[in-house]
């Protein structure tokens, strides 16, 4: 039960009006911290890697660590490949055992986005237990290999959203609604709640067909998160906050103990700090107790 695709847990979240945290990690220590938080709060959870860390460790190693940590866990845990722009690498990771794949062809023209997304969805659906996320519109900021300037970012069009979902057969849908990757430059980012609500009504108004994903979690004010869940968001992606936690905690630890030379203690500090950040997110998303 613990090795699962993201699809089923997100259907349950959408129906139950809570959301599941999807946390981008680059190291084993962070992966352990995410699992620690899920166990402590009894939350379903999604571990994510973008393409670079997946290539650095190799997909098979990522999957082996995921299996070791998740196999015996009494909570559902999915392993997701985030923002992959390369169809062939999406297939490689699905074959290796990632349980959820995001093909990000959102920078391509609409028809080409559909073509690539459908190719990945068709491929993954032949493997058992692998679901697929697609994106429409573009999210500004930088996430690994995907970089979109603020003035290039484009909201998802609701009519196109229906066509996209129907033609591609994606399991999870990420419409661009004004959230951004990285740190928001303002305390009140311009997020289009009404756009998500409209897309949610059209797609899921007569029963859940495709759970909706919110990118750019870092820095969203808690009341925004609450509103986004209320209008249909069921997967929240959080990356930058975990990167900052890892680097700041390491820096602070070493700064205070420059003569120690005990890497295990740095790992323990990072694991604990990351666990706390993830638990805070899980509480905002109302996922504790839902596993």
**Positions marked active-site:** 82
Contact 132, 100 (CB under 8 A): yes
Residue from 190, 189, 237 nearest 212 by CA: 237
- Cβ closer to ligand 13P: 69 or 102? 102
Taking the complex as a whole, the smallest distance from the CB of residue 163 to ligand 13P amounts, in Å, to 23
Contact 81, 51 (CB under 8 A): yes
Site for ligand 13P, residues 231 to 260, rule: CB under 6 A: 237-241
Distance CA 62, CA 169 (A): 27
- Cβ closer to ligand 13P: 72 or 143? 143
Site for ligand 13P, residues 93 to 112, rule: CB under 6 A: none
Q: Which two tokens stand for residue 163?
A: 């066509």
Counted residue by residue, the chain has a size of 291
Backbone angles phi, psi at 237, to 5 degrees: -90, 130
Under DSSP, is residue 143 helix (H, G, I), strand (E, B) or coil? strand
Candidate residues 53, 129, 182, 221; the one interacting with ligand 13P per rule CB under 6 A: 182
Given the structure tokens 């604990």, which residue do they identify? 272
Distance CA 229, CA 206 (A): 18
Taking the complex as a whole, the smallest distance from the CB of residue 80 to ligand 13P amounts, in Å, to 9
Contact 53, 26 (CB under 8 A): yes
- Cβ closer to ligand 13P: 191 or 238? 238
Region at 141 (left for phi over 0; alpha for psi -120 to 50; beta for the rest): left
Taking the complex as a whole, the smallest distance from the CB of residue 181 to ligand 13P amounts, in Å, to 4
Distance CA 116, CA 99 (A): 19
- Cβ closer to ligand 13P: 145 or 163? 145
Region at 128 (left for phi over 0; alpha for psi -120 to 50; beta for the rest): beta
Candidate residues 80, 91, 181, 200; the one interacting with ligand 13P per rule CB under 6 A: 181
Candidate residues 7, 80, 118, 215; the one interacting with ligand 13P per rule CB under 6 A: 215
Is 218 near ligand 13P (CB under 6 A)? yes
What proportions of the chain, in percent to the nearest 5, are helix, strand and coil?
A: 50, 20, 30
Taking the complex as a whole, the smallest distance from the CB of residue 128 to ligand 13P amounts, in Å, to 25
Site for ligand 13P, residues 43 to 102, rule: CB under 6 A: 82-83
- Cβ closer to ligand 13P: 198 or 215? 215
Total residues at the site for ligand 13P (CB under 6 A)?
15
Taking the complex as a whole, the smallest distance from the CB of residue 126 to ligand 13P amounts, in Å, to 25
Give bridge partners of residue 77 from the DSSP assignment. 3, 45
Site for ligand 13P, residues 129 to 158, rule: CB under 6 A: 143
Contact 270, 29 (CB under 8 A): yes
- Cβ closer to ligand 13P: 50 or 116? 50
Taking the complex as a whole, the smallest distance from the CB of residue 269 to ligand 13P amounts, in Å, to 22
Chain residues in the site for ligand 13P (CB under 6 A):
24, 82-83, 143, 181-182, 215-218, 237-241
């Amino acid at each position: 039960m613990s090795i699962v695709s993201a699809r089923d847990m997100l259907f349950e979240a959408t129906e139950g009006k809570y959301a599941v945290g999807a946390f981008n990690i680059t190291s084993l220590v962070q992966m352990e911290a995410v699992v620690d938080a899920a166990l402590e709060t009894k939350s379903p959870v999604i571990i994510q890697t973008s393409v670079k860390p997946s290539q650095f460790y190799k997909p098979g190693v990522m999957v082996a660590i995921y299996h070791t940590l998740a196999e015996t866990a009494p909570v559902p845990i999915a392993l997701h490949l985030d923002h992959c722009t390369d169809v062939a690498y999406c297939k490689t990771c699905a074959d290796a055992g990632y349980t959820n794949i995001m093909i990000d062809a959102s920078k391509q023209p609409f028809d080409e986005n559909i073509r690539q997304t459908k190719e990945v969805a068709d491929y993954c659906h032949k493997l058992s237990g692998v679901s697929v996320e697609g994106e429409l519109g573009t999210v500004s900021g930088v996430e690994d290999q995907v970089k979109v300037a603020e003035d290039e970012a484009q909201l998802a069009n609701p009519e196109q959203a229906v066509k996209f979902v129907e033609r591609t057969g994606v399991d999870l849908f990420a419409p661009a609604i004004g959230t951004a990757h990285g740190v928001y430059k303002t305390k009140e980012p311009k997020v289009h709640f009404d756009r998500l609500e409209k897309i949610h009504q059209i797609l899921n108004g007569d029963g859940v067909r495709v759970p909706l994903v919110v990118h750019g979690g870092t820095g969203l004010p808690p009341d925004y998160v609450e509103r986004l869940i209320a209008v249909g968001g069921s997967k929240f992606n959080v990356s930058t906050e975990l990167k900052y936690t890892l680097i700041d905690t390491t820096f602070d630890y070493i700064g205070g103990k420059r003569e120690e030379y005990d890497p295990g203690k740095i790992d323990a500090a990072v694991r604990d700090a990351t666990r706390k950040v993830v638990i805070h997110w899980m509480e905002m998303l109302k996922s504790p107790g839902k596993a």
